[in-house]
Structure formats: structure tokens, C-alpha cells
Amino acid sequence: MKISSFKSAQKLITGQGCSAVLGEYLESLSIKCPLIVTDKGVRNSGTLDLITKQLKQNHFSIFDDVPAEPDDEVVEHCLAVYRTKPHDAIISVGGGSAIDIAKCVSVLAGKKQTLSAIFGENKVLEKGIPHIAIPTTAGTGSEVTNIAILSVPSEQTKKGIVSDFLLPDLAIVAPEMTVSCPSHITAASGVDALVHAIESYLSNFSSPITDALAIKAMGMIMTNLPIAYKSPQDLDARENMATASLMAGLAFGNAGVGAVHALAYPLGGRYHISHGVSNALLLPFVMEWNKTVCLERFSHMATALSTPVNPHDDAATIANKVIQQLHNLCADVGIPKGLHVLGIKQEDIPALAAEAIKVERLLRNNPRKLSLSDIERIYQAAY
């Protein structure tokens, strides 16, 4: 077996009602004045109240200016707010955007590095201030990964910061925190979690540990996402999705993701399309490209996804049925049916491909290599 390592948040707390344990953990960590990083949607929904009611003995501030697709300026703004008081920790409450902003601020609060200096892999010099991540979506898995993604408007793309120092000290994955999540975000983040599971399973850097997490997550998402989408108050479906997202996060946080994410980056950078929607829309088309080099893995995925197959189906037929199942799931939860629906112009495809080919950090994980013309063909198919 090839050598691999496994990393996660320092501690994971999961299960219905577990958001209520935050107060005791703040006390155990001697945190007196945390900064809560969230967005206005989470704050206005009342979900944040589940957290703030536990902080009556603490002095705390709230930064709620995190947009759906945050850029480098949001980090600087949040960092400035952090420095206005003697804050001693960060609590991120939200989707991947809020968690990623909190990750960046946690390692920049010591003033030893600038944001521009930490883009890339392993550029962060040291562990930052304590960070507790509490996701309100079941999708990104950011609460257990060592990466933060930011839009960089000056370059019309997204960039990653990769460092084990970004891993949160504590992740509280509580299904009650996701109940108020709007249906379109439930859909996009849920398919995003499926992308994480599938791409980590097909990654060149997968391991038996990540495979087990990814395969289990796939089945849970295929079963529970339509229920959570149509019946948002179904706490069992919400819990299963939160757990599956966490598992998929652990899988891709160690095995990596591939071409779906690489091709999605320019869509977010140029058109400000949400990360989840970009990934969900591209998923079946990239899988169509990948299938020829990993048919056996597609057969395993068919079992995990309960894909309807016949005993006489060969591996290629099974792979095609898996891809059709992915198309069907995206349609069932309202994912847009093509890049043209999102206002993307066909003549922009060469420029998108030119940006995507630069995302070598992710493309090296993909089971099948892609050239510039290959990427253009995938965009054309997805158009």
C-alpha cells in the first residue's frame, strides 16, 4: 500500500443537539472574547441564536459581512474587525464561505504574514488563534479540511490556501444548524458534497481510509439529499446529510479533488457563480471524461449509489448509468441544466479553459489527464 497521511480538525462533535455543547468547550479552552464570523442570511434566520445564547458569560463580536463567494478583501475587512477588540478566538457559523474566511483570519491575526504571502501550498508559517467551525450547510466539508478558497477579482479566478495550520481546533456538526438553509443552497451544497466524495474516490491520491469515507458518503447523499431538499424540517435527513458532508470532507481533505473543481474555479471567479452550483453542473460532464480510465471504480460507485443495473451490464454500461443518475439527481434538486442558463457566453469558453488549465494543484489529482482542448470540450458539452 502506498504511504498516505490523514488529517482533520483536532476534535469533532456530531449528532442532533450537539450545538448546545459550545459553551462548555469555550470554557475548557479558556476563550473569553470570540469573534463570530457568519453571513447575514444565517444571522437573520435565527440560526445564530443557538450559538449566541451560549455566550452570555463571554464578550463577543459578530462579523456578518461574508458574501456567498468571498474575496480577498473580505478577509482584510474581517481581520480589521478582529483587531478592534481583544478577541482571543474565532467561531465560524455558516457555510464554506464563512468557515474559509475564519480560517484565513485565524492564521493572519498574529500579524506575522500578509494574505498575499499565504496563497498556495504550505506557505502559512505557524498555527493561528483557536478556531471553532460550526457549519450551517451540508456540503463544503470545510470544517475538517486544510484549505480555504477565495475569489481574486483582479485575476478573475479563485485561489487556494493550503496548510495544516488552517485545520479548525473544533468542528461541531449539528443538523439543527442546517434546518433554516434555503432549498437552493441545500441542493447546491448537497451535490457539492457528492462531488467531494466522488472526486476523492477517483483521485490519484486516494487511500483505503478515504475510499471508505467517500463510498459511504455517496450512498447517504443519494438517499437523503432529495428528502432534505423537499422536506427541510426532516431532522433525520438533515443529520444524514451533515454526516455525509463531513465524511466527504474528510475524504477529499486527504485524497484531494480533481477536474470538476478545477473547471469550476473560473466560473466563480469570472461570473460569481456559487461554488456548489458550479461543481454540481460540471460533475456529470467531467465524469463522462473520466470514466474510461476507472471503469472498475464506477462499478463500485454504482453499488454505493444504488444505481439500477442489470446482471448482464458490462462496466461501460454501468458507468453510463451512474452518469445518467448524476444528471437525474441534479435535475431533481433544481441544478441549472447548462452553462448557458447562467449567462455564460460560448465565446468565453477558451478563456475559461485557459484559466482552468492553470489549476495544476487539482488537475494532478484527476484520474485522466486533461489538455487545454480537452477542457474546452468539457465546457462545450456542459454548455
- 158 and 265 fall within a common domain: no
Q: What pLDDT does 69 receive? A: 86
Instruction: Single out the residue in 178, 206, 239 at which a domain terminates.
Output: 178
Write down the mean pLDDT value for the chain.
94
What is the reported pTM? 0.93
Question: Is residue 289's pLDDT more than 90?
Answer: yes
The pLDDT tens digits of the residues spanning 295-321 come to 999 999 999 999 999 999 999 999 999
- 200 and 227 fall within a common domain: yes
Q: What pLDDT does 170 receive? A: 96
**CA–CA separation, 132 and 142 (whole Å):** 12
Write the CA distances from 252 to 25, 75, 203, 258, 323, integer angstroms.
Answer: 27, 24, 9, 10, 20
One-letter amino acid of 279: N
Instruction: Single out the residue in 178, 208, 243 at which a domain terminates.
Output: 178
Q: Is residue 194 part of a domain?
A: yes
Phi, psi of 13 (to 5 degrees): -125, 125
- 130 and 224 fall within a common domain: no
Q: What pLDDT does 205 receive? A: 95
Instruction: Single out the residue in 146, 162, 178 at which a domain terminates.
Output: 178
In the DSSP assignment, the letter for residue 65 is B
Q: 63: domain CATH number? A: 3.40.50.1970
Sheet containing 120-121: give its strands across.
120-121, 157-162, 147-152
Q: Is residue 310 part of a domain?
A: yes
Q: Give the number of other CB atoms < 10 A from CB of residue 182.
A: 12
- 102 and 214 fall within a common domain: no
The pLDDT tens digits of the residues spanning 157-197 come to 788 999 999 999 999 999 999 999 999 999 999 999 999 99
Sheet containing 34-37: give its strands across.
12-14, 170-173, 131-135, 89-94, 34-37, 61-63
- 274 and 371 fall within a common domain: yes
- 113 and 208 fall within a common domain: no
The pLDDT tens digits of the residues spanning 89-146 come to 999 999 999 999 999 999 999 888 999 999 999 999 999 999 999 999 998 999 999 9
Q: Which domain holds residue 93?
A: 12-178
Q: What is the number of domains present in the chain?
A: 2
